[in-house]
């Protein structure tokens, strides 16, 4: 129950953070030079004339927020709407409400993210386990080399090369667009590679840590076959902490696929967000920002919950530990974090 | 692996520092005679770009920029991270709560918006991009320092120091801080490539550094010409990968040296 | 139930364990092998029990792990033979080994917390040992697991079987560990320091349990550093040093009339309760003469003032007085009353020994006295000044502390010299030059050389580190040293040296000690007065002799009863507690 | 217990197999979900037009609206086939052809145009399309409420060159009764325009998106009329699908009057983010049939490739890149000589050399404009040694020998073109003048262009225009008198101008007047002369005569040397061999879908 109470407090913190975030975003938006109208002008490609769109927006704005109200009132109005998930019309797409834009865009981004994460996990876990078992062999260093290489390139660059190879040269996959599963392949791969490397490295080091635990030795001393010992004692305990890396990774993917979306012309949420920011589309930007924030924080909560469920120790302990686990997650999230190259001895018989 | 990469990094640093000596031309020198010259053209080993500027030279200076950005950004975020992290970790209570809240917020906050703001207000120049990166970076590191300090706080020598009559600040700065630096060094060496990537990313969004040669800009342009003049993307991409790999592996090395395992997790 | 025939052919006639010329090495970074076990040979007949004793690094653990081929990746058996009931343990294939591990040879590890998988209920971990060998079905295995848990004296085995290791107490965990080792009813149980992590009273219980198992005719090899445990428990003993067998034979013979000097050294170094009573000479000085500090050097330290002298109170008067200390810690778990009501006083130049088992609150008392923790109520007077109140830095520095873990308590990023001078620097005593001079004097006083000042803590051995820690504590010329388990992290021989050093220092500098220890022998050796702590309160206190000769409180009785003396006398009395 | 022992091992196996299956299922599920609900259900095959007969895929710059009266890239798409005006341009863009109107006549005085809508022309929902609909549309277009400041706003400003009686006055609030505007639906099939002054370009002007008819019921109706479900149009194609930021699908409109001559059943439009990286991979991968290419290197490559070069459609000198002065407290650019020197010192040849599809510009006016000639240029030699020599001379006389003491110029741009570096580079080499580029996010760009800056921020902003090559358009519309005269205001007067423009208290009419006063009195003589000349053009009936006036107006605009022409850009399109009937026009929509067909035999 200390557990539940702890999550109660966490929820409160989330709420607080959301308020701060929205306020920050709004302020930044006020500070940022250039208004929506100005930018309409710019994209209209001719000077000295404001797009009628800007007018339409002015109208929209007036009806929702009242005529030239002070900024802080606009903010309040927006937040009032936000509470009931009624974010009002976007500037850029006056006919569409922000929530509907999100409703359209998010499933797309989410699909990409989930698929990418699944693929990453599917490859990362075996690779990491294998590398750990074959520690300090060509297999180990080799696979890690390749992975790090894949990770070293930012995903948009990987994407470019993928496109050049599979669409440009081999003509087997579409280079861009959003017209069916075949359009998913390249972007998902491009997104998966980075996480894949991080996860695999993490699995590996986590495995090495577990392998060097005394209870693994004890299990062997009980006469367990390597396969059984690894499956029952090593795998589980090494994969539990993986949750703490995967969660935020998924969240990050769900919210931060801007490059990929632009490059492959995928109507995802990342794109709407970037456009909103650059076109100063207040409602859309605020909406997406809040939505992202919620997603990210929700994943945090879920991860901690799941972690607690998977690891009896954490379950039994108080929130303090969970906080701790989040910290360590933060560190392991970065490339190749985790343990040293098995500086602790790993028992034989698992080779 | 770590050692090789260490050398690579050192070489790269030398290149960055002595760019003027290494680069065959100043990065801005145009040669309208031969634009988009392919790799291996006379005088331009890596070819030229749309303005006939020597790609090798631009790579060299570009790395200088990238490294500068990364370095300064890191210094800033490390300083912030240390001060915040140590206070939060050592004092706990209020300060800690505040940090956690701050990190929560930063964690969920669109850095892009910061980037846009900074870059828009202060222009697409070195400093704003650098600041944007630093803003993004300090949180993670502050968290790490905090974690470190919290574990170190429980070590006997802290009690010993108290026994010797040392006061809080002394303990925090003289005894705990030095021992918390190790892991931070690791994250920093990982953060350098991260920073370079971020800069490149900002360029992709048209928010990168415009007033000096930057890898981001080069890659961005290279991508546009990917099909027609592959050499414009290939060499930057390779340079990019090599640098990132080198730093990452160096990071691994450093981490092994400090063996963060015991501290870092659990 | 009936045991099925083992899948490997065991030669019932052959000795249970037959080891000859066993050599085990570890590959070092530079490629060549570091030989940890160098030509160990011994034989164990069925039903007998062998103790392998030695100090840390003697290779005793590696020896037994070699037998089950449980070596780290870098380690390998170089040569030699090991046969278990005729079966070759060195040469036979992994498959064969698996049928032996757990099935024929059970292993008890030192630290059950680490040796039990934290995320699997105890019961299942026990059951595995059966199912893996196909000895019985899962359901049966569950039954057997519970039965075995009951067997090792765990109350409410059904419930405990469903618990996770971290939910069990230390003692129970160790029992569960043993249960895991014996559940498949092996012929041989190898116990690697099975009781080291336990309190004396618990240790006694666990050992009784092992004794029972042994009584069933199970052969036993026990690795231990504690000669007392060996004597109490084993038929034969094997003394190891630096990977080699020093001496072996029936335990009584070896311990009562050692042939080898090393064995003798070990024995002498080992303290027994009652030694002091027997020998009036105190302290037992064993340290090699070389390690003695030059008298004049220390004399200078003694009488040379460092500026602000504090008026000394008349001798005999208590220098530290603690009155009705109370301290409780509150966490999400709830409130724990670490110290309920403790009053004590230490006289100038004398030693108060504070004994108690883990969790008795003795360390908290130390920290309260040191002023590291604020007491909830009560006060600590250092020469009349409230440590938590009006005490000045000058006065405070007259009380210093020595910690259990020398390495942990030294600043890792400072040199030995810097560590020693740090308190002076903090108090602003003397000029840098003077401090450095002082540091080297102190180093010599604690039996190190002045050149050691430039080396870093991790470059020293445990004993040396503790010496540095002591030197640091002495730097500000304290009147009181609070020593929290100063030797429990050290080997017996080192322990003897450190104790010797401490008492020598007391003689020279007239420092008073508050000695915290779980080791009664140590307390008896060092103390003038003794206080026994249990559950945050002092249950009995008084003059050393009276406490040890005629304990009043039942708990004190229990403690003393749990003692396992090395020397023949009193062995019987300790048998059952 | 024997069997039970057996069971144990398989059990664990099945368990792990199960988990594996779970993972697989989730993946499959997401994929399934992805394919069914996520993607727009594309009717005829996707992207690659190869398999689906009569379907093409084209690229268009992304847009948020398809209201032809608001300036977004959407209005061009509408123009290409969703709506149709009274008249269309001929495929080559030089003349007009029948649209909704099948005949029209002009009065002798050239002031009244009468258009006759063809019989039985209807909206896509089958309802008749009447002259009243046009009148309603134009009233909406000119509605002053849709305007900001005195300057006529949005798309409606594009009716300026039409010179319809009182149109501008109405839209700026000077005239409040729409009946006074020279637009009248005589009957259902007759629409009459009255002009303030003869305008030879009038009919051509009607081909501009803002003159397209809108369906009043749809626009005023419930829901968003721009969404497929509510769409009512009169063009050859109907909007059937629109995935924001991604794609659009158009289907042939059976109600269209000329349906039988419309070849394609379906048009897929891929929406490309403006400024996002576009490679030709999709085109070469057969995903796109028609696409514009702008990357110099791509163009070079296509030109070099015998096959690809066959697929190129080039419209020469369609656009002009130019530099316009930034308003700064530093007066240096107010000195015409300095401006001349900078213009002459501009290495136009090198700058244009960056791309095969740009050529050095001598004038702002596109050379594609009928009757254009070199004489308009400010100098006989706009680049080369002599020009540079002259420039250096001027600079020396002005006290900046070799650019010594010359302030560092700033070049403001919204995105980072290589041309910027070239400009800086050539100024430096030719004149020894230092310049830096200030590449800013687009929002800032637009703001800084019109802001008043401190002395340390002086220089030019980089822009580019393209449009139909008619005189009214080139002279009156692009680089309009307002723009040129604003550029000609000195610091003090410009601040005044801004003050008036931002004075919320002023009524629209007054504001326009006051602004006009400032512009007509305070700007440079050349700029004012130019504006006056443009004014005169309105009052002539004679087309030839009017063209002359426009010609020397344009010449004056060059002489003012406020806006410096930099380079003329060609527009390059590529189309798959199977694409037939494609011609590229000067107007930004480039071509009408109705003219395009695919000949899949060519595949």
- CATH number of the domain enclosing A287: 1.10.3720.10
Residue C82 has pLDDT above 80, yes or no: yes
- The shortest CB-CB distance from A225 to any of C98, C184, C331 is to C98
Q: Looking at chain A from residue 133 to 162, which residues have their Cβ under 8 Å from any Cβ of chain C?
A: 135
Residue A323 lies in a domain: no
Q: In terms of domains, do D59 and D157 share one?
A: yes
* B116 reaches D (C-beta below 8 A): yes
DSSP C16-54: SEEEEEEEEEEE-TTSSEEEEEEEEEEEE-TT-EEEEE-
Phi, psi of A287 (to 5 degrees): -60, -55
- The shortest CB-CB distance from A328 to any of B100, B244, B264 is to B264
Which two structure tokens, joined as six digits, stand for D482?
């307002």
Interface confidence: ipTM more than 0.90: no
Percent of chain C with pLDDT over 90: 23
State the residue range of the domain holding A309.
99-314
Q: Looking at chain B from residue 39 to 58, which residues have their Cβ under 8 Å from any Cβ of chain D?
A: 49-51, 53
pLDDT digits (tens, 9 = 90+) for B56-66: 999 999 888 88
Beta bridge partners of C76: C25
Q: Cβ separation of A223 and C99 shorter than 8 Å?
A: yes
Average pLDDT over residues D132-138: 93
Q: In terms of domains, do A155 and A204 share one?
A: yes
**What are C's interface residues with D at a Cβ cutoff of 8 A?**
131, 134, 136-140
Q: In terms of domains, do D149 and D239 share one?
A: yes
Q: Which of A57-61, A301-305, C524-528 has the lowest mean pLDDT?
A: A57-61
Best mutation target among B228, B229, B232 (most D Cβ atoms within 10 Å) is B228
Coil/strand/helix, residue C455: coil
What integer pLDDT is reported at residue D194 of this predicted model?
Answer: 93
Q: Cβ separation of A328 and B265 shorter than 8 Å?
A: yes
Coil/strand/helix, residue D345: helix
- The shortest CB-CB distance from B228 to any of D275, D277, D300 is to D300
Residue C575 has pLDDT above 80, yes or no: no
What integer pLDDT is reported at residue A188 of this predicted model?
Answer: 93
* B124 reaches D (C-beta below 8 A): yes
* D119 reaches C (C-beta below 8 A): no
Residue D515 lies in a domain: no
**What are D's interface residues with B at a Cβ cutoff of 8 A?**
275, 277-281, 284, 295-298, 300-301, 350, 353-355, 415-416, 418, 421-422, 425, 436-444
Kindly report the average pLDDT of chain D as a whole number: 83
Sheet strands side by side (includes C377-382): C385-386, C377-382, C318-331, C334-347, C537-543, C529-534, C351-355, C512-517, C480-484, C399-402
What integer pLDDT is reported at residue D61 of this predicted model?
Answer: 84
Q: In terms of domains, do A229 and A279 share one?
A: yes
Q: Cβ separation of A163 and D245 shorter than 8 Å?
A: no
Q: In terms of domains, do A21 and A136 share one?
A: no
Q: Cβ separation of A156 and B147 shorter than 8 Å?
A: no
Residue D238's pLDDT band, with cuts at 50, 70 and 90, is very high
Q: In terms of domains, do D252 and D362 share one?
A: no
- CA dist D211 and D205 (Å) reads 8
Best mutation target among D3, D5, D10 (most C Cβ atoms within 10 Å) is D5
Residue D509 lies in a domain: no
Residue C573 has pLDDT above 70, yes or no: no
Highest mean pLDDT, choosing among B69-73, C295-299, D560-564: D560-564
Q: Mind telling me how many Å the CA of A52 is from chain B's nearest CA? A: 25
Q: In terms of domains, do A115 and A254 share one?
A: yes
Residue C568's pLDDT band, with cuts at 50, 70 and 90, is low
Residue C161 has pLDDT above 80, yes or no: yes
Q: Torsion angle, CA of B206/B210/B214/B217, rounded to 10 degrees?
A: 30
- CA dist C217 and C215 (Å) reads 5
Contacts of A233 in chain C (CB under 8 A): 117, 120
Residues 6+ apart with CB under 8 A from A95: A89, D224, D226, D227
What integer pLDDT is reported at residue D396 of this predicted model?
Answer: 93
Residue D332 has pLDDT above 90, yes or no: yes
Q: Cβ separation of D8 and C131 shorter than 8 Å?
A: yes
Interface partners of A (3+ CB pairs, < 8 Å)?
B, C, D
Q: Cβ separation of A161 and B245 shorter than 8 Å?
A: no
Contacts of B170 in chain C (CB under 8 A): 426
What integer pLDDT is reported at residue A328 of this predicted model?
Answer: 34
What integer pLDDT is reported at residue C305 of this predicted model?
Answer: 38
Q: In terms of domains, do A281 and A184 share one?
A: yes
What integer pLDDT is reported at residue C188 of this predicted model?
Answer: 93
Average pLDDT over residues D318-328: 91
Look at residues B148, B175, B181 and name the one whose alpha carbon lies nearest to residue C418. B175
Q: What angle do CA C170, C176, C181 make, to 5 degrees?
A: 130
Residue D52 has pLDDT above 80, yes or no: no
Q: Cβ separation of B206 and D415 shorter than 8 Å?
A: yes
Q: Mind telling me how many Å the CA of D36 is from chain A's nearest CA? A: 8
Residue C40 has pLDDT above 50, yes or no: yes
Q: Cβ separation of A222 and C132 shorter than 8 Å?
A: yes
Contacts of A341 in chain C (CB under 8 A): none
Residue A218 lies in a domain: yes
Q: Cβ separation of A296 and B108 shorter than 8 Å?
A: yes
Residue D196 lies in a domain: yes
Q: Mind telling me how many Å the CA of A347 is from chain C's nearest CA? A: 4
pLDDT digits (tens, 9 = 90+) for C315-374: 567 888 888 999 888 766 667 888 888 999 898 888 999 998 887 888 889 888 888 888
DSSP D176-239: --GGGSSEEEEETTEEEEEBSS--TTHHHHTTSGGGS---HHHHHSSS-TTSGGG----SSEEE
Q: Cβ separation of B30 and D422 shorter than 8 Å?
A: yes
Q: Looking at chain A from residue 214 to 253, which residues have their Cβ under 8 Å from any Cβ of chain C?
A: 214-215, 217-225, 228, 232-233, 236-237, 240
Q: CATH number for the domain including D406?
A: 3.10.105.10
Q: In terms of domains, do D354 and D262 share one?
A: no
Average pLDDT over residues C440-461: 88
Residue C296 has pLDDT above 80, yes or no: no
Q: Cβ separation of B220 and D277 shorter than 8 Å?
A: yes
Q: In terms of domains, do D594 and D555 share one?
A: no
Q: In terms of domains, do A43 and A134 share one?
A: no
Q: In terms of domains, do A74 and A152 share one?
A: no
Q: Which of B75-79, C10-14, D107-111 has the lowest mean pLDDT?
A: C10-14
Contacts of C134 in chain D (CB under 8 A): 5
Domain count, chain A: 2
pTM score over 0.90: no
Which two structure tokens, joined as six digits, stand for D49?
């037009």
* A212 reaches B (C-beta below 8 A): no
pLDDT digits (tens, 9 = 90+) for C251-267: 989 988 899 999 999 88
Highest mean pLDDT, choosing among C335-339, D60-64, D395-399: D395-399
State the residue range of the domain holding D440.
316-488+523-569
Residue A292 lies in a domain: yes
Residue A58's pLDDT band, with cuts at 50, 70 and 90, is low
Domain count, chain D: 2
Q: In terms of domains, do A32 and A104 share one?
A: no
Measured CA to CA in angstroms, residue C123 lies from C109, C195, C399 at distances of 17, 22, 50
Average pLDDT over residues A22-37: 78
Q: Cβ separation of A223 and C164 shorter than 8 Å?
A: no
Q: Cβ separation of D441 and A181 shorter than 8 Å?
A: no
Interface partners of B (3+ CB pairs, < 8 Å)?
A, C, D
Average pLDDT over residues C146-151: 91
Best mutation target among A215, A231, A316 (most C Cβ atoms within 10 Å) is A215
Q: Which residue of B has its CA nearest to D285?
A: B227
DSSP-derived pairing of the beta strands C385-386 and C334-347: unpaired
DSSP state of D266: E
Q: In terms of domains, do D459 and D475 share one?
A: yes
Q: Mind telling me how many Å the CA of A184 is from chain D's nearest CA? A: 9
Q: Which of A49-58, B232-241, C129-138 has the lowest mean pLDDT?
A: A49-58
Q: CATH number for the domain including D30?
A: 3.40.190.10
Residue A44 has pLDDT above 80, yes or no: no
Q: Which residue of B has its CA nearest to C421?
A: B164
Q: Which residue of C has its CA nearest to A350?
A: C73
Residue D147 has pLDDT above 60, yes or no: no
Residue D17 lies in a domain: no
- Walk me through the domains of chain B, giving residue ranges and CATH numbers: 16-22+43-258 (1.10.3720.10)
Contacts of C331 in chain A (CB under 8 A): 318
* B226 reaches D (C-beta below 8 A): yes
Q: Cβ separation of C410 and B157 shorter than 8 Å?
A: yes
- CA dist B208 and B201 (Å) reads 8
Q: Cβ separation of B210 and D422 shorter than 8 Å?
A: no
* Chosen domain end from A46, A61, A84: A84
Is residue D155 within 8 A of residue D68, CB to CB? The reply is yes
Packing angle of the helix pair B231-258, A155-162 (nearest 10 deg): 140
Measured CA to CA in angstroms, residue D45 lies from D50, D51, D254 at distances of 9, 7, 21
Measured CA to CA in angstroms, residue C147 lies from C1, C75, C190 at distances of 12, 37, 21
- The shortest CB-CB distance from C73 to any of A219, A236, A348 is to A348
Q: Which residue of D has its CA nearest to B231?
A: D297
Q: In terms of domains, do A105 and A175 share one?
A: yes
Residue A175 lies in a domain: yes
Residues 6+ apart with CB under 8 A from D124: D231, D232, D233, D234, D238, D253, D255, D256
- Walk me through the domains of chain C, giving residue ranges and CATH numbers: 1-104+189-268 (3.40.50.300), 118-185 (no CATH), 299-561 (3.40.50.300)
Coil/strand/helix, residue C247: strand
Which two structure tokens, joined as six digits, stand for A33?
């030079």
- CA dist D150 and D512 (Å) reads 5
Q: In terms of domains, do A124 and A240 share one?
A: yes
Q: In terms of domains, do D117 and D251 share one?
A: yes
Residue D593 has pLDDT above 50, yes or no: yes
What integer pLDDT is reported at residue B129 of this predicted model?
Answer: 82
Is residue D123 within 8 A of residue D234, CB to CB? The reply is yes
DSSP state of C68: T
Q: In terms of domains, do A34 and A103 share one?
A: no
Residues 6+ apart with CB under 8 A from D346: D323, D382, D383, D423, D426, D427, D430, D564, D566
A219 vs A84, more confident: A219
Interface partners of C (3+ CB pairs, < 8 Å)?
A, B, D
Q: In terms of domains, do A75 and A136 share one?
A: no
Residues 6+ apart with CB under 8 A from D556: D526, D529, D530, D533
Average pLDDT over residues B115-133: 76
């Amino acid at each position: 129950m200390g557990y539940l109470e702890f999550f109660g407090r966490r929820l409160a913190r989330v709420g607080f953070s959301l308020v701060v975030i929205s306020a920050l975003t709004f302020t930044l938006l006020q500070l940022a030079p250039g208004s929506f109208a100005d930018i309409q002008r710019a994209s209209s490609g001719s000077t000295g004339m404001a797009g009628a769109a800007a007018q339409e927006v002015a109208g929209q704005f007036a009806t929702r927020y009242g005529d030239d109200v002070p900024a802080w009132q606009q903010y309040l109005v927006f937040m009032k709407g936000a509470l009931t998930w009624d974010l009002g019309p976007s500037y850029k797409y006056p006919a569409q409400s922000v929530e509907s834009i999100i409703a359209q865009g998010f499933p797309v981004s989410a699909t990409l993210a989930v698929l990418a994460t699944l693929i990453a996990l599917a490859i990362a876990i075996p690779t990491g386990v294998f590398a750990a078992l074959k520690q300090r062999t060509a297999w180990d260093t080799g696979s890690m080399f390749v992975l790090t290489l894949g990770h070293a390139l930012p995903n948009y660059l990987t994407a470019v090369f993928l496109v050049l190879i599979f669409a440009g040269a081999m003509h087997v996959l579409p280079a861009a667009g959003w017209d069916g599963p075949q359009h998913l392949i390249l972007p998902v791969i491009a997104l998966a590679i980075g996480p894949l490397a991080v996860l695999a490295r993490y699995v590996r080091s986590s495995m090495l840590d577990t392998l060097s635990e005394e209870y693994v030795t004890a299990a062997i001393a009980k006469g367990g076959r390597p396969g059984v010992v690894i499956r029952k004692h090593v795998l589980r305990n090494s994969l539990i902490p993986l949750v703490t890396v995967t969660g935020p990774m998924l969240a990050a993917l769900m919210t931060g696929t801007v490059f990929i979306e632009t490059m492959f012309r995928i109507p995802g949420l990342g794109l709407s967000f970037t456009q909103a920011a650059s076109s100063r589309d207040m409602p859309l930007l605020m909406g997406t920002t809040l939505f992202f924030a919620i997603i990210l924080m929700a994943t945090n909560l879920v991860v901690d919950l799941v972690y607690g469920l998977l690891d009896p120790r954490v379950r039994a302990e108080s929130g303090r530990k969970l906080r701790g686990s989040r910290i360590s997650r933060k560190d392991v999230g970065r490339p190749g974090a985790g343990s040293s190259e098995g500086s602790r001895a790993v028992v034989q018989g698992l080779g | 692996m770590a050692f090789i990469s260490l050398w690579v990094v050192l070489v790269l640093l030398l290149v960055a520092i002595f760019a003027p000596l290494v680069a065959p031309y100043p990065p801005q020198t145009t040669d309208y005679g031969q634009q988009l010259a392919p790799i291996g053209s006379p005088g331009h080993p890596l070819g030229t770009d749309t303005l006939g500027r020597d790609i090798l030279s631009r790579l060299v200076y570009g790395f200088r920029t990238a490294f500068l950005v990364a370095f300064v950004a890191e210094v800033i975020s490390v300083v912030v991270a240390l001060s915040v992290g140590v206070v939060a970790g050592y004092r706990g209570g209020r300060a800690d709560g505040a940090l956690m809240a701050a990190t929560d917020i930063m964690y969920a906050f669109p850095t892009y918006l910061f980037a846009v703001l900074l870059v828009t207000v202060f222009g697409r120049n070195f400093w704003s991009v650098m600041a944007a990166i630093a803003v993004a970076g300090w949180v993670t590191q502050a968290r790490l320092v905090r974690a470190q300090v919290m574990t170190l706080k429980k070590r006997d020598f802290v009690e010993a120091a108290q026994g010797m009559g040392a006061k809080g600040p002394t303990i925090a700065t003289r005894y705990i801080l030095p021992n918390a630096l190790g892991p931070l060094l690791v994250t920093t060496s990982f953060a350098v490539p991260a920073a370079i990537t971020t800069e490149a990313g900002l360029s992709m969004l048209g928010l990168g550094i415009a007033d000096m040669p930057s890898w981001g800009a080069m890659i961005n342009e290279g991508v546009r010409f990917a099909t027609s003049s592959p050499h414009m993307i290939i060499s930057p991409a390779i340079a990019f990968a090599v640098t990132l790999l080198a730093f990452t592996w160096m990071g691994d090395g450093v981490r092994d040296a400090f063996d963060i395992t015991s501290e870092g997790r659990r | 139930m009936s045991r099925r025939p083992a899948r490997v052919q065991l030669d019932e006639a052959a000795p249970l364990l037959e080891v000859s010329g066993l050599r085990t090495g570890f590959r070092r970074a530079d490629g060549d092998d570091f030989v940890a076990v160098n030509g160990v040979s011994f034989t164990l007949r069925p039903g007998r029990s062998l103790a392998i004793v030695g100090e840390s690094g003697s290779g005793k653990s590696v020896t037994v792990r070699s037998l089950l081929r449980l070596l780290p990746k870098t380690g390998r058996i170089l040569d030699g033979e090991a046969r278990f009931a005729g079966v070759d343990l060195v040469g036979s294939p992994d498959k064969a080994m698996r049928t032996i591990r757990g099935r024929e040879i059970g292993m008890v590890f030192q630290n059950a917390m680490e040796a039990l998988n934290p995320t699997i209920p105890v019961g299942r971990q026990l059951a595995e040992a059966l199912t893996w060998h196909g000895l019985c079905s899962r359901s049966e295995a569950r039954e057997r697991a519970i039965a075995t848990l009951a067997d090792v004296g765990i109350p409410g085995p059904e419930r405990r079987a469903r618990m996770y290791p971290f939910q069990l107490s230390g003692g129970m965990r160790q029992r569960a560990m043993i249960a895991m080792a014996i559940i498949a009813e092996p012929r041989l149980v190898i116990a690697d320091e099975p009781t080291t992590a336990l309190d004396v009273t618990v240790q006694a219980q666990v050992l009784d349990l092992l004794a029972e198992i042994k009584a069933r005719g199970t052969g036993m090899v026990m690795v231990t550093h504690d000669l007392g445990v060996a004597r109490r428990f084993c038929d034969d003993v094997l003394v190891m040093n630096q990977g080699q067998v020093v001496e072996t034979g029936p335990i009584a013979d070896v311990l009562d009339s050692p042939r080898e000097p090393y064995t003798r050294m070990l024995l002498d170094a080992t303290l027994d309760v009652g030694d002091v009573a027997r020998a009036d000479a105190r302290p037992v000085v064993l340290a090699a003469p070389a390690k003695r500090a030059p008298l004049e050097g220390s004399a200078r330290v003694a009488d040379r003032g460092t500026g602000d002298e504090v008026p000394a109170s008349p001798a005999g008067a208590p220098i530290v007085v603690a009155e009705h200390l109370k301290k409780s810690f509150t966490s999400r778990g709830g409130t724990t009353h670490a110290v309920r009501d403790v009053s004590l006083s230490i006289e100038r130049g004398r030693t108060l020994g504070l004994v108690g088992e883990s969790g008795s609150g003795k360390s908290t008392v130390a920290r309260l006295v040191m002023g590291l923790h604020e007491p909830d109520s009560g006060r600590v007077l250092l020469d009349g000044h409230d440590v938590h109140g009006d005490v000045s830095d000058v006065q405070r520095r007259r009380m210093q502390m020595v910690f259990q873990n020398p390495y942990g308590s030294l600043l890792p990023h400072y040199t030995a010299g810097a560590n020693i001078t740090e308190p002076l620097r903090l108090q602003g005593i003397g000029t840098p030059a003077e401090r450095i001079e002082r540091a080297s004097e102190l180093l010599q006083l604690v039996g190190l050389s002045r050149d050691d000042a430039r080396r870093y803590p991790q470059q020293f051995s445990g004993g040396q580190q503790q010496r540095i820690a002591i030197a640091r504590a002495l730097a500000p010329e304290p009147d009181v040293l609070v020593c929290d388990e100063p030797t429990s992290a050290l080997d017996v021989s080192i322990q003897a040296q450190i104790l010797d050093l401490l008492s020598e220092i007391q003689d020279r500098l007239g420092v008073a000690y508050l000695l915290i220890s779980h080791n009664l022998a140590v307390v008896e050796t060092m103390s003038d007065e003794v206080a026994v702590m249990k559950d945050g309160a002092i249950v009995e206190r008084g003059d050393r002799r009276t406490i040890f000769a005629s304990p009043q409180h039942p708990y004190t009785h229990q403690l003393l009863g749990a003692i396992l003396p090395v020397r023949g006398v009193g062995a019987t009395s300790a048998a059952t507690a | 217990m024997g069997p039970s022992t057996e069971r144990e091992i398989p059990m664990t196996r099945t368990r792990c197999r199960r988990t594996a299956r779970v993972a697989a299922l989730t993946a499959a599920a997401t994929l399934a979900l992805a394919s069914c609900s996520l993607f727009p259900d594309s009717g005829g095959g996707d992207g690659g037009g190869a398999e689906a007969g009569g379907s093409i895929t084209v690229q268009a710059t992304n847009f948020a609206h398809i209201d032809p009266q608001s300036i977004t890239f959407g209005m061009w798409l509408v123009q290409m086939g969703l709506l149709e005006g009274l008249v269309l341009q001929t495929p080559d863009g030089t003349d007009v052809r029948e649209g909704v109107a099948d005949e029209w006549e002009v009065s002798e005085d050239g002031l009244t145009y009468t258009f006759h809508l063809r019989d039985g022309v209807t909206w896509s929902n089958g309802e008749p399309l009447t002259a009243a609909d046009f009148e309603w549309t134009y009233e909406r277009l000119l509605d002053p409420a849709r305007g900001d400041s005195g300057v006529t706003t949005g798309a409606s400003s594009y009716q300026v060159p039409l010179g319809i009686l009182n149109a501008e006055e109405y839209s700026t609030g000077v005239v409040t009764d729409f009946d006074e505007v020279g637009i009248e639906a005589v009957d259902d099939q007759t629409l009459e325009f009255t002009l303030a002054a003869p305008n030879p370009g009038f009919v051509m002007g009607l081909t501009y998106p803002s003159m397209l008819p809108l369906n009043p019921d749809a626009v005023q109706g419930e829901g968003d009329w721009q969404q497929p479900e509510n769409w009512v149009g009169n063009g050859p194609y109907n909007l059937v699908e629109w995935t924001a930021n991604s794609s659009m699908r158009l289907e042939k409109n059976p109600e269209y009057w000329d349906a039988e001559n419309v070849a394609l059943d379906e048009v897929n439009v891929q929406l490309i983010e403006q400024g996002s990286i576009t490679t030709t991979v999709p085109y070469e991968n057969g995903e796109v049939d028609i696409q514009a290419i702008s990357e110099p290197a791509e163009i070079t490559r296509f030109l070099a490739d015998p096959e690809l070069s066959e697929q190129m459609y080039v419209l020469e000198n369609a656009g002009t890149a130019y530099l316009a002065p930034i308003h700064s407290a530093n007066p240096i650019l107010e000195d015409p000589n300095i401006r001349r020197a900078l213009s002459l010192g501009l290495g136009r040849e090198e700058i244009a050399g960056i791309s095969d599809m740009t050529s050095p510009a001598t004038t702002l006016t596109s050379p594609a404009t009928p009757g254009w000639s070199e004489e308009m240029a400010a100098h006989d030699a706009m680049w080369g040694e002599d020009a540079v020599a002259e420039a250096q001379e001027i600079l020396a006389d002005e006290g900046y020998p070799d650019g010594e003491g010359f302030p560092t110029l700033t070049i403001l741009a919204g995105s980072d073109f290589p041309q910027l570096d070239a400009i800086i580079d050539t100024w430096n080499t030719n004149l020894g003048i230092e310049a830096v580029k200030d590449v800013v996010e687009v929002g800032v760009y637009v703001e800084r262009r019109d802001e008043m800056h401190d002395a340390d921020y002086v220089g030019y902003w980089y822009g580019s225009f393209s449009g139909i090559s008619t005189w009214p358009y080139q002279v009156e519309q692009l680089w309009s008198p307002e723009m040129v005269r604003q550029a000609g205001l000195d610091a003090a007067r410009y601040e005044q101008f801004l003050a008036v423009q931002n004075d919320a208290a002023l009524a629209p009419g007054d504001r326009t007047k006051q602004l006009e006063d400032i512009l007509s009195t305070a700007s440079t003589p050349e700029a004012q002369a130019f504006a006056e000349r443009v004014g005169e053009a309105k009052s002539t009936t004679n087309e030839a005569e009017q063209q002359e006036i426009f010609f020397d107006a344009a010449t004056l605009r060059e002489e003012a040397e406020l806006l410096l022409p930099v380079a003329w850009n060609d527009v390059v399109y590529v189309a798959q061999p199977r694409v037939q009937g494609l011609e590229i026009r000067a107007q930004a929509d480039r071509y009408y879908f109705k003219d395009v067909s695919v000949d899949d035999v060519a595949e």
